[in-house]
């Protein structure tokens, strides 16, 4: 029962995220492998390993900083902690351009 509830919650979050995506946008969920940065906090891009094992690279575009999203500098925290993120992006001239970064909700069953 708990696993079914966890699957339902994760599915609902993905569905809500898809509804919120703009036209021509895509989603990717996974963990941050590396962050291209110029100190102190200038981030130009990053790589993500998706839940299916695919490695995708992104450039940082004009980020939407609304409720629930975070700025590019926060990617470093996710790289260090291994906490997954959801990236909303558009493909422009063959490059993935991230425009919104959010924490991915991780549902763990309680014992």
pLDDT tens-digit map of 22-42? 568 999 999 999 999 887 778
CATH number at residue 52: 2.40.50.140
Provide the β-strand partners of residue 66: none
Flag whether 111 is in a domain: no
Q: Which long-range contacts (CB under 8 A, 24 or more apart) does 2-5 make?
A: 2/109, 2/110, 3/109
Nearest to 7 by CA among 111, 107, 93: 107
Flag whether 40 is in a domain: yes
Radius of gyration of the chain (CA): 14
**Average pLDDT in the 50-74 region?**
96
pLDDT of the residue at 105: 81
Q: What is the pTM of this model?
A: 0.74
| Number of domains within the chain | 1
Flag whether 25 is in a domain: yes
C-alpha pair distances (Å), 86 with each of 2, 38, 90, 110: 24, 23, 13, 24
pLDDT single digits (tens) 99-110: 999 999 866 676
Kindly report the backbone phi and psi dihedral angles of residue 100, in degrees, each rounded to the nearest multiple of 5, phi listed first: -155, 135
Domain that holds residue 76: 2-103
Flag whether 110 is in a domain: no
C-alpha 54/C-alpha 93 separation (Å) is 20
């Amino acid at each position: 029962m708990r696993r079914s509830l966890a699957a339902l919650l994760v599915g609902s979050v993905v569905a809500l995220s898809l509804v919120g995506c703009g036209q021509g946008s895509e989603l990717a969920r996974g963990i941050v492998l590396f962050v291209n940065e110029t100190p102190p906090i200038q981030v130009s891009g990053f790589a993500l390993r998706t839940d299916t094992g695919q490695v995708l690279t992104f450039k940082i575009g004009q980020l939407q900083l609304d409720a629930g999203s975070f700025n590019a500098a926060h990617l470093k925290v996710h790289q260090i902690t291994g906490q997954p993120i959801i990236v909303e992006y558009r493909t422009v001239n063959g490059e993935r351009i991230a425009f919104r970064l959010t924490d991915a909700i991780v549902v763990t069953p309680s014992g």
